């Protein structure tokens, strides 16, 4: 198996199971035009995120890492009337592209973007009494994934889901000698999950158009 096969299968899944969507395509096109990196979730993985939010009946979502708003739009669409999604993005230029796409998708009354490093935005969320969040999607700077997870857990309720993307990192997750900071952070995340009585969690390896990686899902007990 090789990357060509993984990409072909992802394309097949997208063609068969992920119908074309004008707003999502417009968000991707705007992101490309503005020179944003194409590091959003793949269409099949985005659909899984959306299904998780729907399965759970999520009304409140917290997202770390907006980029051009692709996963934001998918998640926001899963929410019922009155639902709310807060997305944290460090890069103001990326957030502006996302905001336009979110407005184009008719979701600006559902989504609130907060611009700045996520760790700095968190105290205000707590002060404003936002949360508990039914679903948290962690997809920002990977070195901080354990910090985001710890905060999300403290602002969840029993039954909340916390999803963290890009944890397998080409398989380096299993390499105890890796000195790469983002990998060390994912290993730390797994240690936290193993020791944390408030969650039950698993990690799923993925291949696809974006290579070999994986995501963690933690269910708050
Ligand atoms: C993988 S992308 C997010 C992709 C998006 N969730 C999607 O699937 O459409 C990661 C994003 O996190 C942002 N980011 C990086 N460091 C951050 C930080 N400290 N706080 C908030 N956002 C950050 C990056 O600017 C980038 O837009």
Beta bridge partners of 212: 207
Cα 145–149–155 angle (5° rounding)? 145
Q: Which atom of ligand 1 is nearest to the CA of 94?
A: 27
To test the pocket of ligand 1, the residue of 74, 141, 143, 213 to mutate (highest count of ligand atoms within 8 Å of its CB) is 141
To test the pocket of ligand 1, the residue of 61, 90, 115, 122 to mutate (highest count of ligand atoms within 8 Å of its CB) is 90
Q: CA 152, CA 133: separation in Å to the nearest integer?
A: 8
Question: Mean pLDDT of all residues in the chain?
Answer: 97
Nearest CA to ligand 1 atom 11: 65
Residue 192 — left, alpha, or beta (φ > 0 → left; ψ -120 to 50 → alpha)? alpha
Nearest CA-CA partner of 213 in 137, 139, 134: 139
pLDDT at residue number 61: 98
Q: Which two tokens stand for residue 72?
A: 């934001």
pLDDT at residue number 16: 98
Instruction: Give the phi and the psi of residue 89 in degrees, each rounded to 5.
Output: -140, 130
pLDDT at residue number 42: 97
**Distance (Å) from CA 66 to ligand 1 centroid:** 5
| CB distance 163 to ligand 1 below 6 Å | no
Alpha-helical segments (H) within the chain? 3-17, 22-33, 43-56, 70-77, 92-104, 118-127, 145-154, 181-195
Q: Which atom of ligand 1 is nearest to the CA of 72?
A: 9
**Distance (Å) from CA 3 to ligand 1 centroid:** 24
Collapsing DSSP states into helix, strand and coil, what is residue 148? Answer: helix
**Distance (Å) from CA 216 to ligand 1 centroid:** 17
Report mean pLDDT in 10-residue bins for the chain, 221 residues. 94 97 98 98 98 97 98 98 98 98 98 98 97 98 98 98 98 97 98 98 96 98 97
pLDDT at residue number 89: 98
Burial of 208: CB neighbours in 10 Å, binned 0-12, 13-18, 19+ = buried
Nearest CA-CA partner of 217 in 83, 53, 80: 53
CA dihedral 189, 190, 194, 195 (to 10 degrees): -30
**Distance (Å) from CA 192 to ligand 1 centroid:** 22
Q: CA 148, CA 63: separation in Å to the nearest integer?
A: 10
Nearest CA-CA partner of 66 in 21, 33, 27, 105: 27
Collapsing DSSP states into helix, strand and coil, what is residue 168? Answer: coil
To test the pocket of ligand 1, the residue of 34, 140, 147, 182 to mutate (highest count of ligand atoms within 8 Å of its CB) is 140
Nearest CA-CA partner of 64 in 148, 152, 138, 171: 138
| CB distance 89 to ligand 1 below 6 Å | yes
Q: Which two tokens stand for residue 117?
A: 């490093």
């Amino acid at each position: 198996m090789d990357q060509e096969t993984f990409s072909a299968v992802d394309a097949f899944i997208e063609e068969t199971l992920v119908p074309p969507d004008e707003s999502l395509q417009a968000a991707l096109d705007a992101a490309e035009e503005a020179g944003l990196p194409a590091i959003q979730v793949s269409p099949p993985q985005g659909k899984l995120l959306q299904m998780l939010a729907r399965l759970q009946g999520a009304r409140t979502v917290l997202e770390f890492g907006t980029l051009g708003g692709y996963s934001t739009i998918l998640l926001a669409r899963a929410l019922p009337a009155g639902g709310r999604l807060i997305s944290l993005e460090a890069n103001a230029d990326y957030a502006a592209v996302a905001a336009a796409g979110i407005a184009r998708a008719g979701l600006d009354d559902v989504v609130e973007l907060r611009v700045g490093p996520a760790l700095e935005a968190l105290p205000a969320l707590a002060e404003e009494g936002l949360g508990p969040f039914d679903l948290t999607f962690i997809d920002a700077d990977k070195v901080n994934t354990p910090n985001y997870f710890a905060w999300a857990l403290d602002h969840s309720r029993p039954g909340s889901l916390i999803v963290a993307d890009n944890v397998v990192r080409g398989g380096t997750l299993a390499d105890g000698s890796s000195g790469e900071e983002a990998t060390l952070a994912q290993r730390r995340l797994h240690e936290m999950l193993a020791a944390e009585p408030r969650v039950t969690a698993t990690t799923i390896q993925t291949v696809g158009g974006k290579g070999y990686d994986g995501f963690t899902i933690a269910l708050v007990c």
